[in-house]
């Protein structure tokens, strides 16, 4: 007996890695790290297996929202150099497959996180996925230059969810961890938009650089960096902070402010002359900035656990 009657012919057979790439592994690494910090520094400790499951399902939820984003944004990803090689726009994975994986993993991750930890954590993960896939991807990204500002909230949720997974409630420390990422996202992406010049124009994405011009973007980077600076310092002064977090917060924010000020002072002629050296350096530094802040929280946590402070 043979039941094999359907065979879809396609030029390229997607690999497991192609499907995994739908989950945006690089974004997931940041999600895992920040969620882990949120979970560890919380005053309630989970059993290691529960903690592992919580981080795993938060990461899968983030990956699922990435797959939904790739499904919906395949048209604009295809025209941007930075994203043209993603699985859907490059034709390696069918859009329908990305949608199915995104929806399926969203459901699994939310239910499993709620079962492994608590309902509030599961609800927050569901809210994050909907926020990123629907509010940001389907609505704001293509309609307002504030897309990055509001969409950044989705990326800011993981440490808060990690905290809630451990404690079952939201507190000021969790909100401040959220606020650090939320306020950090706009300058980070606007710096990228400054030197990935034609990409967003070509795709018709209303980035601030496209709608309000590059000078306005430089102003916004400075303004948001000024607003961001006190948040990590405040976080360092709460129960999860400590001397390491405080030193890192003061030093890195001073550095970040100087970078934003340099960007603000420059114009397009200067930027073109040195091929956006300052903007690229600011963007690169912004990546270390986030890792360093959350890493510092971990160091302070370890120092407290070891009885050093």
Partner 1 sequence: MDLKATHGLHHRRFSRNVGVALTLVFFVAVVFGLTVVKVTNGEAVQGFDHTVRPELVPVEGN
Q: Interhelix angle for 147-167 vs 25-41, to 10°?
A: 40
CB of 5: closest distance to partner 1 in angstroms?
7
> CB-wise, 2 or 275, nearer to partner 1?
2
> CB-wise, 120 or 175, nearer to partner 1?
120
Contacts of 82 (CB under 8 A, 6+ apart): 196, 199
Cα–Cα distance, 113 to 183 (Å, whole number): 27
CB of 106 closer than 8 Å to CB of 129: yes
9: left (phi over 0), alpha (psi -120 to 50) or beta: beta
- For residue 205, CA distances in Å to 77, 139, 151 come to 10, 11, 14
Neighbours of 238 (CB within 10 A): 16
Count of positions (residues) in the chain: 309
Judged by the rule CB under 8 A, the positions of this chain that interact with partner 1 are 2, 4-5, 7, 13-16, 19-20, 47, 49-50, 52-53, 56, 112, 115-116
> CB-wise, 49 or 269, nearer to partner 1?
49
Cα–Cα distance, 274 to 46 (Å, whole number): 50
Angle at 221 between CA 159 and CA 251, to 5 degrees: 60
Cα-based torsion angle of the residue sequence 211, 216, 218, 219 in order, rounded to the nearest 10 degrees: -140
CB of 69: closest distance to partner 1 in angstroms?
21
Contacts of 229 (CB under 8 A, 6+ apart): 253, 256, 257
> CB-wise, 168 or 243, nearer to partner 1?
168
> CB-wise, 4 or 269, nearer to partner 1?
4
Instruction: Report DSSP state, residue 45.
Output: P
CB of 87: closest distance to partner 1 in angstroms?
13
| Burial state string for 112-136 with b = 16 or more CB within 10 A and e = fewer than 16 | bbbebbbebbbebbbbbbbbbbebb
Cα–Cα distance, 13 to 10 (Å, whole number): 7
Instruction: Report DSSP state, residue 86.
Output: S
Cα–Cα distance, 188 to 212 (Å, whole number): 17
């Amino acid at each position: 007996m043979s039941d094999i009657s359907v065979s879809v012919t396609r030029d390229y057979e997607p690999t497991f890695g192609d499907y995994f790439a739908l989950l945006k592994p690089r974004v997931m690494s940041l999600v895992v790290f920040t969620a882990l910090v949120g979970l560890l520094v919380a005053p309630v400790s989970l059993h290691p297996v529960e903690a592992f499951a919580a981080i795993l399902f938060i990461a899968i939820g983030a990956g699922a929202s990435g797959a939904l984003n790739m499904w919906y944004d395949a048209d604009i990803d295809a025209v941007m150099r930075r994203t043209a090689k993603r699985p859907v726009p490059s034709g390696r994975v069918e859009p329908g497959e990305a949608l199915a994986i995104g929806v399926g993993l969203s459901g699994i991750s939310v239910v499993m996180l709620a079962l492994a930890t608590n309902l509030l954590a599961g609800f927050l993960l569901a809210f994050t996925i909907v926020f990123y896939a629907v509010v940001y991807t389907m609505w704001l990204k293509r309609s307002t230059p504030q897309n990055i500002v509001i969409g950044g909230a989705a990326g800011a949720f993981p440490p808060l969810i990690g905290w809630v997974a451990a404690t079952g409630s939201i507190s000021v420390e969790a909100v401040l961890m959220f606020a650090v990422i939320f306020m950090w996202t706009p300058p980070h992406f606007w710096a990228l938009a400054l030197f990935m010049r034609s990409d967003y124009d070509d795709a018709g994405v209303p980035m601030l650089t496209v709608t309000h011009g590059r000078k306005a973007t430089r102003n916004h980077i400075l303004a948001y960096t000024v607003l961001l600076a006190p948040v990590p310092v405040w976080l360092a002064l709460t129960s999860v902070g400590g001397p390491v977090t405080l030193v890192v917060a003061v030093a890195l924010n001073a550095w970040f402010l100087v970078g934003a000020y340099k960007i603000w002072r420059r114009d397009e002629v200067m930027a073109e002359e040195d091929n956006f050296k300052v903007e690229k350096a600011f963007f690169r530094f912004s990546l270390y900035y986030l890792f360093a802040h959350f890493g510092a929280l971990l160091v302070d946590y370890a120092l407290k656990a070891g009885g050093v402070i």
